[in-house]
C-alpha cells in the first residue's frame, strides 16, 4: 500500500521564509519546475547524494491527500526509482511535521 506521507528536505531558513509567505517553493523550483520529494525509505539516499555535510536542514512530513497541487511519482532514470514530485507551491496545511535533521 502506498504511504499517505511524502517527505521533502529543505533548510531551516527556507522553511522560515515559507511560513511568512504561507506557501513553500524551494529556491530551485523555477529551474526544476516541481518540488522534489521522497518516500520515507528514500530519505537516507537523498541526504547522502544531495545534502552531505550540510547543516541547518529540516525534513518536512507532508500529508499527500492535503497537497493542493498535482503530486506525480516519476522515474529518476539514474536510480531507476520513482520519486514524488509536487507541481506547484506547497500549501502549508499539508505539512504535518517539521523535523530538524542537522
The domain spans of the chain are 5-100
Q: What is the mean pLDDT of the chain?
A: 95
What pLDDT, on a 0 to 100 scale, did the predictor assign at position 2? Answer: 59
45-67 pLDDT tens trace: 999 999 999 999 999 999 999 99
1 has pLDDT over 70: no
Query: What is the CATH number assigned to the segment(s) 5-100?
Result: 3.20.170.20
Other beta carbons within 10 angstroms of residue 24's beta carbon come to: 23
Other beta carbons within 10 angstroms of residue 58's beta carbon come to: 19
Confidence class of residue 92 from pLDDT cuts 50, 70 and 90?
A: very high
**H-helix or E-strand spanning residue 64:** none
Amino acid at each position: 500500500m502506498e504511504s499517505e506521507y511524502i517527505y521533502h528536505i529543505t533548510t531551516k531558513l527556507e522553511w522560515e521564509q515559507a511560513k511568512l509567505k504561507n506557501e513553500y517553493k524551494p529556491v530551485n523550483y523555477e529551474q526544476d519546475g516541481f518540488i522534489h520529494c521522497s518516500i520515507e525509505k528514500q530519505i537516507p539516499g537523498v541526504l547522502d547524494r544531495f545534502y552531505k555535510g550540510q547543516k541547518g536542514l529540516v525534513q518536512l512530513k507532508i500529508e499527500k491527500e492535503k497537497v493542493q497541487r498535482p503530486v506525480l511519482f516519476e522515474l529518476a532514470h539514474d536510480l531507476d526509482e520513482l520519486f514524488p514530485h509536487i507541481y506547484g507551491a506547497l500549501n502549508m496545511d499539508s505539512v504535518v511535521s517539521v523535523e530538524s535533521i542537522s
